[in-house]
Amino acid sequence: MKCRNDKSLRQMVLPGFYNVDPSDVRKQIGCFTEAFANHEKDKQQENVARWRAALTE
């Protein structure tokens, strides 16, 4: 989340999730477990690692 950490960009990041328990997002449990696993299978491990880190901030 480079833009969030760079105060000179003056951008606000607001993640939007509908009808989802915030702890499921933070912990990547429930339906997020399978979704992240599928993305990792598609050789996107680097992207998935960044997504996981961003969702736990």
57 residues of the chain, pLDDT tens digit each = 565 566 666 766 677 778 888 888 888 888 888 888 888 887 678 888 888 888 887
- Concatenated DSSP letters of 1-57: -HHHH-GGG--------SS--HHHHHHT-THHHHHHHHHHHTT-HHHHHHHHHHHH-
Structure confidence at residue 57 (pLDDT) = 74
Q: Where are the domains of the chain?
A: 22-57
Structure confidence at residue 5 (pLDDT) = 62
Structure confidence at residue 54 (pLDDT) = 83
Predicted TM-score of the model (pTM): 0.57
